[in-house]
Structure 1
Amino acid sequence: MPPVTERTSSLELPCQDGCVNVSIVVPIFNEEGNVGEFVECVFAALTPTSRAFELIVVDDGSRDASGEMLLRLAAERPWLRPVRLVRNYGQSSALQAGFDRVRGRYVVTLDGDMQNDPFDIPAMLDRLDSDAGIDVISGWREHRQDKALSRRLPSYIANALISRVTGVQLNDYGCALKAYRREVIDRIRLYGELHRFIPSLARDVGARIAEMPVRHHARTHGVSKYGIDRTFRVVLDLMLIVFFMRYRQRPLHAFGGLGLWLAALGVAILSWLGLLKLLGEHIAGRPLLTVGVLLLVVGVQLVVAGLVGELLSRIYHEGRGGAQYHVRDTRN
């Protein structure tokens, strides 16, 4: 990582509404050993670009001195905007807290543990400036410095799963260093643990995504918050994101389609048993009768669930005015 320059009077760079070019959003949790160096490094990386920037650091309920250090640093750095959450909500909620406060034309995210390199940010911003066909640039840690199998193996499995299921092919979904056009961030909302799927959510709202190799450094302070158990959570979240992307605006097709197949199978079984009954056979003790009734009842329930989902979707889009589409541009 390039050396951090000494602080100068330009620490007081103005960041008024309307002039901010880049908003950098960083969630942290128990990073007191890194936060001071990280803030200085971001300043050293962005100052030579002459871009007006703001650094929004979201303290996600840290139990160490991270929050107090941020407040001290922000006292003489107007471009540093700490956001302290009352408790630990998780990375997705922390990112959303930062997204709700951005003012820049571009939004950049990265981790505050000094493993991502802030000096990669200018190149990502230059590419967004020069290529109007790209809305999101996702970092790719081509040469990862994580040696532990508990971090590399879950990452490999997660990248393969998410790319295959969502259709958004990326080598490194787990890299926090990403750059977005502001309108993409304004169109998505994060909750739960959807931060892993931001590129997929961005593609769902029409964003065009590219990948760029970035540097990666070994952690020198603090401890990692990830482990092998993350792989299992990814699988569960992946089920949610697939449903969200494919059936958010047509839940009846998801529930109703499965319900009709089950109900049709149940009706076929009961019809066959009814025919046997008419022919004089005894059917009361047959397990197939229970299966037929169960399939019919479950199928009807799924269809009803799909109809309820459609009603909720209409309430959301019509009652609250939530748009079902996003416009890239218009003419005349």
Structure 2
Amino acid sequence: MQNPALSVVVPVFNERDNVAPLISEILAALRGVTAFEIVYVDDQSRDDTAAVLQSLKAATPELRILQHAIQSGQSTAIRTGVKAARGAWIATLDGDGQNDPADLPRLLTARDSGDPSVKLYAGWRVNRQDSGSKRWASKYANAIRARMLHDDTPDTGCGTKLFEREAFLDLPYFDHMHRYLPALMQRSGWKTISIPVNHRPRGAGVSKYNNLQRALVGIRDLMGVAWLIVRSKRTAVREL
């Protein structure tokens, strides 16, 4: 199989009932649009997510399955998928079914007609289908992040993203980095664009995080990213 133009990376942990419906939607959205692969990364699920994925592989030639030896979190799962990906561009989706694969062709169209210096097209959930407390916590966190990082991004928590693989792998890696991709891309000298996307109720299962967990981790990460931005240096280079 030749290298695809796009790799869709989906990190999962205990999402056995959401796997088949999401893969079906990815296939419906992208077959006939671009050459693609689907890279699922199982973060040591305690249910039979891996077995469900394996049962779908024979009928889905685009599907690849990776599994962590140790549970390592969403950012590590995304990076694992990106490192293994064969496409020059990466699309990410959360494994819970709340992101709509039907948005991916629109992100690809925006990229094809956009500025080459834009390396990240970030989904923006304009009509979130989460609980009131989760929406309030996200709005508060986004406001603090925007004030500290000046990343001009209304929603960094959306799992729907399209970015260049090479640009991503050049970013500093740390746990929870996936929530700061716009600021990190901008730190590297690239432009980012937010695009409104669909958001849906979770298909099955339960959220893996609560608002307190997100807040405690987010404060420390935010301070770290702000430090990285202040301490960064960029310069043009010419070969002599």
What is the TM-score with the length of structure 1 in the denominator? 0.68
Q: Which has the higher strand share?
A: 2
Structure 2: 5+ residue stretches without partners = none
Question: Retained in 2: the 8 A contact 1:157–1:231?
Answer: no
1:48 deviation in Å? 3.2
Secondary structure at 1:48's aligned position in 2?
Answer: coil
Secondary structure at 1:34's aligned position in 2?
Answer: helix
2:83 equivalent to 1:100: yes
Question: Retained in 2: the 8 A contact 1:138–1:211?
Answer: yes
Of the three residues 150, 153, 173, the one matched with 1:167 is 150
Q: What are the Cα deviations for residues 236-284 of structure 1, in whole angstroms up to 9, with x where unaligned?
A: 11111111222256xxxxxxxxxxxxxxxxxxxxxxxxxxxxxxxxxxx
Question: Retained in 2: the 8 A contact 1:205–1:326?
Answer: no
What's 1:38 paired with? 22
In structure 1, distance between residues paired with 2:91 and 2:184: 16
In structure 2, distance between residues paired with 1:135 and 1:208: 6
1:76 deviation in Å? 3.2
In structure 2, the CA distance between the partners of 1:148 and 1:224, relative to structure 1 (3 Å rule), is: farther
1:198 deviation in Å? 1.2
1:206 deviation in Å? 1.5
1:16 deviation in Å? 2.0
In structure 1, distance between residues paired with 2:27 and 2:112: 20
Q: What are the Cα deviations for residues 293-318 of structure 1, in whole angstroms up to 9, with x where unaligned?
A: xxxxxxxxxxxxxxxxxxxxxxxxxx
In structure 2, the CA distance between the partners of 1:111 and 1:244, relative to structure 1 (3 Å rule), is: same
In structure 2, distance between residues paired with 1:325 and 1:93: 29
1:66 deviation in Å? 0.4
Q: What is the one-letter code of the residue matched to 2:168?
A: I
Of the three residues 74, 77, 97, the one matched with 2:60 is 77
1:325 deviation in Å? 5.7
* Structural mapping, 1:276-315, within 5 Å: none
Question: Retained in 1: the 8 A contact 2:8–2:92?
Answer: yes
2:2 equivalent to 1:16: yes
In structure 2, distance between residues paired with 1:62 and 1:100: 20
- Larger Rg over CA atoms: 1
Secondary structure at 2:16's aligned position in 1?
Answer: coil
In structure 2, distance between residues paired with 1:106 and 1:193: 21
2:196 equivalent to 1:210: no
1:97 deviation in Å? 0.4
In structure 2, distance between residues paired with 1:190 and 1:113: 24
Of the three residues 166, 173, 190, the one matched with 2:173 is 190
What's 1:246 paired with? 230
1:188 deviation in Å? 1.6
Q: What are the Cα deviations for residues 24-60 of structure 1, in whole angstroms up to 9, with x where unaligned?
A: 11101100010011111100110131x1101111101
Q: Which one scores higher on RCO, CA 8 angstroms, separation ≥ 6?
A: 2
Q: Percent identity?
A: 36
In structure 2, distance between residues paired with 1:40 and 1:223: 21
Question: Retained in 2: the 8 A contact 1:55–1:79?
Answer: yes
Q: What is the one-letter code of the residue matched to 2:11?
A: P
Aligned length: 237
Q: CA RMSD in A?
A: 1.8
Q: Which has the higher helix share?
A: 1
What's 2:10 paired with? 26
Of the three residues 164, 167, 171, the one matched with 1:181 is 164
In structure 2, distance between residues paired with 1:155 and 1:33: 26
Q: What is the one-letter code of the residue matched to 1:242?
A: A
Structure 1: 5+ residue stretches without partners = 1-14, 250-323
What's 1:126 paired with? 109
